[in-house]
Copies of this chain bind each other. A is one copy, B any other.
Amino acid sequence: MKLHEYQGKEILRQFGVNVQDGKVARTPDEVRAIAREYGQPVVVKAQVHVGGRGKAGGVKFSPTEDKAFENGEKILGMDIKGLTVNKVLVTKAVDIDAGVEYYVGMIVDRNVQSYTLMASAEGGMEIEEVAAATPEKIIKHRVDPVTGLRPYEAREVAIKAGFKGNLNKIADMMVKMSEAALKRDAVLVEINPLFVGPDGIPLALDTKFEIDDNAMYRHADLADWRELEAEHPLEIEASKYGFAYVKLDDGNVGVLGNGAGIVMTSLDVVNRAGAKPANFLDIGGGAKAEIVYNAVKLVSKDTDVKAIFINIFGGITRADEVAKGVIQALNDGILTKPVRMRIAGTAEDEAKALLAEVGSPLIQMYPTMFEAADEAAKDANAAEGK
């Protein structure tokens, strides 16, 4: 689960990180009230789950209350990459030029089977940009997942990264970030910029925080931070069914299968067939008719989808169950787009018999995933006049 900046800051604050003061506003009046309370220049920052909000005009320095109100009006309701801004964070502005901006972050790193701490004196820009331009400026350090980052390790990393300022306090902030990551099951946590003012004291100006979905059961207190309105409506519906679903941009073929690997490969096969997958949908193991029905219903709602490719490798899955689910969707009037299926499972003959009985050109079975994908691609491209 991705957190908003203000939520990530709240978690860091719980672990004792020195975070820039700020409050959330949902109306320009609230923005003004916060600016008045602070009695100093503020920054109004859009809270949306996409990157690049600054370039999109979602972050604005506001020297006066009136300016804060005005910027609140501009940003609230703004559309950033398809998401509407419903909330802004109003923070006390900091004189960046008076200090330095650093980067610290931790990510789950498959290669070290733990977290990797990253630190760079090149703060304030995306770490990927630093990695691309000046990789030598990123200091990396494996964090022991049992002990967490220790102060001496944090100091060593800070020294190697060339951080200036109060070494002990900067290291302490890194240690607390590590505690937050481990205790709150972060997949990713960043403090960027980590601002060090002329007094040498570190201050977290912005943060990214993403929590491991597998661990959400032990963070029940954060459950209502999940904002369904900020997610794609089909992704919300998919999560209700327990499907792993990802909406993909610029696609025209709906893709569903049983297992992450087979669906990933199905995307590749659709691509090879000259069309574009519109989604990733893993219906999991044991596909009964009802599950297939729900999956077809979900994918059919996507107006980008012009044809559906179903790719099932069934150990336990029965082809006739899959066929039943699809036929049910057809009968209920839900299915209006062609479905091209490959089902390697038991009861293939029964499935064929069921489909023959229905006799709809909308539903066809093919012996291989390639033929099914080719047909789906052909249908989808034809529907788009390609």
Contact = CB atoms under 8 A, between A and B. Distances in A.
Contacts of A147: 146
Contacts of A146: 146-147
Interface string A147-165: 1000000000000000000
Nearest to A144: B146
Interface residues of A, number: 2
Query: How many chain copies does the complex carry?
Result: 2
A189 to B, nearest CB: 21
A267 B24 CA distance: 64
A146 B147 CA distance: 7
Nearest to A147: B146
A147 B146 CA distance: 7
A124 to B, nearest CB: 33
A10 B127 CA distance: 44
A252 B146 CA distance: 52
A147 B147 CA distance: 8
Interface in A118-173: 146-147
A61 to B, nearest CB: 37
A146 B146 CA distance: 7
A28 to B, nearest CB: 39
Nearest to A148: B146
A113 to B, nearest CB: 17
A175 to B, nearest CB: 14
A283 B146 CA distance: 40
Interface string A47-68: 0000000000000000000000
A147 B182 CA distance: 13
A81 to B, nearest CB: 41
Interface string A320-341: 0000000000000000000000
A16 to B, nearest CB: 11
Interface in A253-302: none
A147 B148 CA distance: 11
A97 to B, nearest CB: 37
A382 to B, nearest CB: 58
A210 to B, nearest CB: 26
A149 to B, nearest CB: 14
Interface of A: 146-147
2 closest A-B pairs (Cβ-Cβ)?
A146-B146, A146-B147
2 contacts: A146-B146, A146-B147
